[in-house]
């Protein structure tokens, strides 16, 4: 069993206190620049390759390769940063990332052969500087457990939602510049500049590794802890549902004769997510974390089922606004749950596992939703997504003991929580 604490309600004053913490200003500003392109690099690469090759198929394979690289690289980098601190790893991967981006651009410009572009896309993903996990882990050293630290985690989740609103729009705008690779280049420059700046901040340079639990000596590392596997399962389900929606919504817009509105409709999810995320942090529900993860995913699944009901894009927009209200609360809950679920000394790696789980879930959801949209219709994809979410929510319920606090009543043990 993991002794995870119950998170606190936070106020606007807690957000201000977190951002004004001594030593936090430089990491906050540099990590903002580093994380701005997180939702931009992959899409910019896809659009760039498609413009040069004229093939969505090749562009999709290149994008998938990049996604695989990010999923693997986030965990590897997180584990190294827990051992060495963020400064040296981020400086090294920033330099390597720069080289691979340059090589990818050269491969595209010199002929656009599929295999070299895919291989280099994987390398770009592997070396993409993981400033997000490092930034999140830094709060555990800047702030003690409590309301202010919870506000810092909520800020991290909300800021990521803002980047997911801005990133695709910026990528779509820059691909229409005279050179289609402008978006990839601008995104890479922001990421390298921000990551390098973050690595050189006094707070990052003062990082000292803490004693690591025996469990993290295994190949699974932080994921060897049962509570970590529960959080990763919640993150996978969250990513899977979002991935299915990200494919089905543009498909619904296309079938309605307004394909250009697909991206705009998806941004509606993030708008309501950011607004409600701040309010939810002030009064989270359910309060115990062992109940919060299954409840949030299950209710999110029900809200996604509602996306199958509207027959107009206006109705779909309203349904998306409602469904988006539970995006940031889930992201924040995953961060807070890591407090007790992650073994000592694995804060960065643990958050990297969450990123990997969301990434893999998104890839799974997008592939399944794509097939359902082709064989049936977008409403079918929404309903199947809801079913998947409810099943995973039930699994989280059966594993809830792995996130119990010392004061929580003990539910009946289940087989699932021991796996």
Q: Return the CATH number at 356.
A: 1.20.1250.20
Mean pLDDT of the 265-271 span? 80
Of residues 80 and 2, the one with the higher pLDDT is 80
CA distance 407 to 6: 10
Which of residues 209, 229, 248 is at a domain's end? 209
Looking up tokens 């827990």 gives: 82
Q: What's the half-sphere exposure (Cβ side, CA atoms, 13 Å) at 63?
A: 24
The answer, yes or no, to whether residue 319 has pLDDT greater than 60, is: yes
Look at residue 209 in the predicted model and tell me its pLDDT: 66
Q: Which of 165-174, 318-327, 400-409 has the lowest mean pLDDT?
A: 400-409
pLDDT tens digits, one per residue of 156-181: 877 877 787 677 778 877 877 899 99
The answer, yes or no, to whether residue 193 has pLDDT greater than 50, is: yes
Look at residue 196 in the predicted model and tell me its pLDDT: 98
Are both 259 and 162 inside the same structural domain? Answer: no
Percent of the chain with pLDDT over 70: 90
Are both 12 and 117 inside the same structural domain? Answer: yes
What number of helices (H) and strands (E) belong to the chain? Answer: 17, 0
Are both 236 and 112 inside the same structural domain? Answer: no
Are both 237 and 386 inside the same structural domain? Answer: yes
Token duo for residue 204: 């990052």
Q: Give the predicted TM-score (pTM) of the model.
A: 0.78
Look at residue 20 in the predicted model and tell me its pLDDT: 92
Are both 310 and 162 inside the same structural domain? Answer: no
The answer, yes or no, to whether residue 60 has pLDDT greater than 80, is: no
Which of residues 209, 239, 266 is at a domain's end? 209
Are both 342 and 409 inside the same structural domain? Answer: yes
Look at residue 212 in the predicted model and tell me its pLDDT: 54
Are both 231 and 203 inside the same structural domain? Answer: no
Are both 144 and 202 inside the same structural domain? Answer: yes
Q: Which structural domain range is residue 24 located in?
A: 1-209
Q: What is the DSSP string of 252-311?
A: HHHHTT-GGGHHHHHHHHHHHHHHHHHHHHHS-SSSSHHHHHHHHHHHHHHHHHGGGS-S
Token duo for residue 250: 């543009």
Mean pLDDT of the 327-336 span? 85
Mean pLDDT of the 246-267 span? 81
Look at residue 218 in the predicted model and tell me its pLDDT: 61
Look at residue 290 in the predicted model and tell me its pLDDT: 84
Look at residue 201 in the predicted model and tell me its pLDDT: 96
Look at residue 11 in the predicted model and tell me its pLDDT: 78
Are both 240 and 326 inside the same structural domain? Answer: yes
Are both 95 and 25 inside the same structural domain? Answer: yes
The answer, yes or no, to whether residue 6 has pLDDT greater than 50, is: no
The answer, yes or no, to whether residue 141 has pLDDT greater than 50, is: yes
Are both 171 and 61 inside the same structural domain? Answer: yes
Of residues 257 and 176, the one with the higher pLDDT is 257
Mean pLDDT of the 317-341 span? 87
Q: Which of 277, 343, 327, 350 is nearest to 130 (CA)?
A: 350
The answer, yes or no, to whether residue 367 has pLDDT greater than 60, is: yes
Token duo for residue 399: 């594993």
CA distance 282 to 36: 26
| Residue count (the chain) | 419
Q: Is 221 left (phi over 0), alpha (psi -120 to 50) or beta?
A: left
pLDDT tens digits, one per residue of 14-55: 889 999 999 999 999 999 999 999 878 887 888 888 888 887
The tally of domains found in the chain comes to 2
Average pLDDT across the chain, whole number: 84
Are both 196 and 284 inside the same structural domain? Answer: no
Which of residues 209, 229, 245 is at a domain's end? 209
């Amino acid at each position: 069993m993991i002794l995870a604490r119950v998170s606190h309600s936070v106020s606007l004053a807690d957000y201000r206190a977190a951002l004004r913490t001594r030593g936090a200003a430089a990491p906050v500003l540099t990590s903002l620049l580093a994380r701005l392109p997180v939702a931009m690099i992959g899409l910019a690469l896809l659009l760039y390759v498609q413009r040069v090759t004229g093939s969505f198929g090749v562009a999709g394979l290149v994008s998938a390769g990049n996604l695989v690289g990010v999923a693997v690289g986030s965990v590897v980098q997180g584990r190294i940063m827990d051992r060495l601190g963020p400064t040296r790893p981020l400086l090294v991967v920033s330099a390597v990332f720069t080289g691979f981006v340059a090589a990818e651009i050269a491969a595209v410009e010199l002929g656009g052969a599929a295999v070299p572009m895919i291989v280099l896309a994987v390398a770009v993903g592997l070396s993409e500087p993981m400033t997000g996990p490092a930034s999140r882990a830094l709060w555990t050293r800047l702030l003690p457990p409590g309301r202010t630290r919870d506000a810092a985690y909520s800020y991290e989740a909300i800021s990521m939602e803002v980047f997911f609103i801005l990133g695709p729009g910026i990528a779509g705008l820059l691909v229409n510049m005279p050179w289609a690779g402008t978006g990839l280049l601008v995104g890479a420059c922001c990421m390298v500049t921000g990551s390098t700046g973050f690595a050189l901040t006094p707070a990052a340079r003062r990082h000292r590794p803490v004693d690591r639990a025996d469990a993290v000596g295994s190949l699974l590392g932080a994921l060897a802890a049962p509570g970590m596997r529960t959080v990763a399962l919640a993150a996978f389900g969250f990513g899977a549902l979002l991935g299915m929606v990200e494919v089905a919504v543009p498909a619904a817009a296309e079938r309605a004769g307004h394909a250009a509105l697909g991206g705009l409709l998806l941004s509606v999810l993030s708008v309501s997510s950011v607004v409600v995320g701040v309010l939810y942090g002030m009064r989270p529900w359910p309060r115990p974390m062992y109940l919060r993860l299954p409840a949030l995913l299950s209710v999110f699944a029900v809200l996604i089922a509602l996306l199958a009901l509207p027959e107009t894009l206006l109705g779909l927009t309203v349904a998306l606004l409602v469904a988006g209200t539970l995006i940031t609360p889930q992201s924040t809950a995953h961060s807070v749950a890591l407090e007790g679920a992650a073994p000592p000394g694995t804060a960065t790696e643990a958050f990297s596992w969450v990123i990997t789980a969301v990434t893999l879930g998104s890839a799974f959801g997008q592939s399944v939703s794509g097939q359902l949209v082709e064989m049936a219709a977008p409403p079918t994809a929404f309903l199947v997504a809801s079913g998947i979410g409810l099943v995973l929510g039930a699994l989280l319920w059966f594993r809830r003991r792995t996130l119990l606090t010392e004061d929580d009543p003990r539910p009946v043990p289940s087989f699932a929580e021991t796996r």
